[in-house]
Amino acid sequence: MATQEQNITEGALTDEPRFEGDKTVNIQGLKKAFGMHEVLKGVDLQIGKAENLVVLGKSGTGKSVLIKCMVGLLQPDEGRVEVLGQEVPKLKEDDLNQVRQKIGFLFQSAALYDSMTVRENLEFALRQSKVKDKAEIDKLVEEALDNVGLKEAIDKMPSELSGGMRKRAGLARTIIMRPELILYDEPSTGLDPITSREISELILEIQKKYKTSSLIITHDIECAKITANRIIVLRDGVVTAEGTFEELENSEDEWVRSFFNK
């Protein structure tokens, strides 16, 4: 990371109007099962405008499934999933793609395109934007990589990167479009404490600068502490606890408290 204070230029990259409602995400009674295996059993959650919501929960409780339902990668069995004012499961492909351009999605596995260099991966993300000028694209790519401290790896192939570097490249690819809503799937997993902290601060910075709403799935309590405006805890397919970091840290429920090493 070049500087502590990250240099983030402002301005949206699409011509699409910004969503003006006060609930960026509104999910009610979301159910999803795979065969006999019920993963989500009626999840309710809201994300306010420019709010960072952290989702905690044990491995395999369906956190990744939850955010995949939010972008239409998975079709929910039941319930209402409203994102940026649109009911995602009911959208036609073209409308869905319009909404998706306003959403950033960081995959747990980073999901970099293997056949492209890091630079091309980021340029590819900009294909749908209004920026067409080569010099400007270069500037945006370098800036995004600088923000995640990956400038020197710009011309490497994903196979040449370490796990943490892939994650950061994926993060750069997610934030380069300056989406209105970002869904981070474990942004700091596999990173050292220092980089991890820097990534958490970057997430906070992005929220402040672009008024982005975010959902952050994490097992990293430090990251939750830095980024969260509000935290929810998933257990057995439902939301069992909700509150600020301090509230949950001192929760009545021992199981919830145990997430905070208490």
Residues in contact with another protein by CB under 8 A are 68, 71, 73, 93, 97-98, 100-101, 103, 105, 107, 109, 111-114, 124-125, 127-128
Distances (CA, A) of 33 to 61, 62, 76, 108, 112: 12, 10, 8, 20, 28
Residues 52, 227 contacting (CB under 8 angstroms): yes
Largest CA distance in the chain: 56
Residue 108 in contact with ligand ATP, rule: CB under 6 A:
yes
Residue 218 in contact with ligand ATP, rule: CB under 6 A:
no
The site partner of 107 among ligand ATP, another protein, Mg ion, none (C-beta below 5 to 8 Å per kind) is: another protein
Residues 33-52 that bind ligand ATP (CB under 6 A): 34, 39
Of 26, 61, 129, 212, the residue at the interface with ligand ATP (CB under 6 A) is 61
Closest approach, Cβ 32 to ligand ATP, in A, equals 8
Residues 5, 17 contacting (CB under 8 angstroms): no
Phi, psi of 198 (to 5 degrees): -65, -40
Q: For the chain, how many residues are written?
A: 262
Residues 6+ apart with CB under 8 A from 211: 49, 50
Closest approach, Cβ 180 to Mg ion, in A, equals 23
Closest approach, Cβ 20 to Mg ion, in A, equals 31
Nearest CA-CA partner of 172 in 192, 153, 189: 153
The site partner of 10 among ligand ATP, another protein, Mg ion, none (C-beta below 5 to 8 Å per kind) is: none
A 10 A CB-CB count for 133 gives 8
Q: Which is nearer to ligand ATP, 143 or 220 (CB)?
A: 220
Both structure tokens of 90: 């009911």
Closest approach, Cβ 192 to another protein, in A, equals 24
- Stretch binding Mg ion (CB under 5 A), from 57-65, 126-134, 175-183, 193-201: 57-65
Closest approach, Cβ 55 to ligand ATP, in A, equals 9
Of 19, 47, 54, 63, the residue at the interface with ligand ATP (CB under 6 A) is 63
What is the rounded distance in angstroms from the CA atom of residue 262 to the CA atom of residue 249?
8
180-203 burial by CB neighbour count: b if 16+ within 10 A, else e? bbbbbbbbbbebeeebbbbbbbbb
Interface residues toward ligand ATP, by CB under 6 A: 34, 39, 57, 59-65, 108
Residues that bind Mg ion (CB under 5 A): 64, 108
